[in-house]
Structure 1
């Protein structure tokens, strides 16, 4: 039986004033299965085309923190899966932002995460 899931794409925004971004990951949340995971795929050369001075180490650290929040480690350890998803997808003005959350039905949220990274993040 399919379950409702939500997802958001993770976007790198090297220079906010230009409004340009590149998808670098995805987050999938399924409340019924208590599933929350993040997967990333960063094309460093494409990002450098948007901003040659982008600090990729800072981006990597931000992505690592985002994935830790999904796993429930680090500062987000004491929060529920739903709280973590809502915090991760809240609007922000930082180097990492997320798309609006979208919904769907799935039997396999991990497969949805793989599909999203394949179709929306990687070339």
Structure 2
């Protein structure tokens, strides 16, 4: 197990109607302190979102999802949070909140390749 990389992952979820606590999985985030990586991959499923007949503005939800990506990737356009260190950004993104975009609790795992693990989790949990 020494050559395996310890990581945490969280599923990014869109809540079209927060009060109903129903959600659409919209992405995966992987953080590894040891590997010094924070990876993210998102997908907005318009068909599923529209099926909820949400009052949320679809374009605003897409922008909010994009802001998750900007914060995770340390994009300068992501605001002050994107300038925090990597562990702080991951913890901020996975903090419990009541909004249209939330994450699951972080789950631990071991991997040989973090990018490959991101792709696998994305296929299994998002698409």
> Where on the TM-score scale, by shorter chain, does this alignment land: which range?
over 0.9
Give 3-state SS (helix, strand or coil) of 1:87's partner: helix
Return the TM-score normalized by structure 2: 0.91
Q: In the TM superposition, what are the counterparts of 1:1-123 in structure 2 within 5 Å?
A: 1-73=3-75, 74-75=78-79, 76-122=81-127
CA distance in 1, matches of 2:22, 2:99: 12
CA distance in 2, matches of 1:35, 1:51: 37
Moved over 6 A (4+): none
CA RMSD of aligned residues (A): 1.1
With over 3 angstroms needed to count, the CA separation of the structure-2 counterparts of 1:52 and 1:92, relative to structure 1, is closer
The number of residues matched between the two structures is: 122
Return the TM-score normalized by structure 1: 0.94
Mapped contact 1:3–1:105 kept (Cα < 8 A) = yes
Provide structure 2 residue ranges, at least 5 long, that are not aligned to the other structure. none
Give the deviation of 1:51 after TM superposition. Answer: 2.3
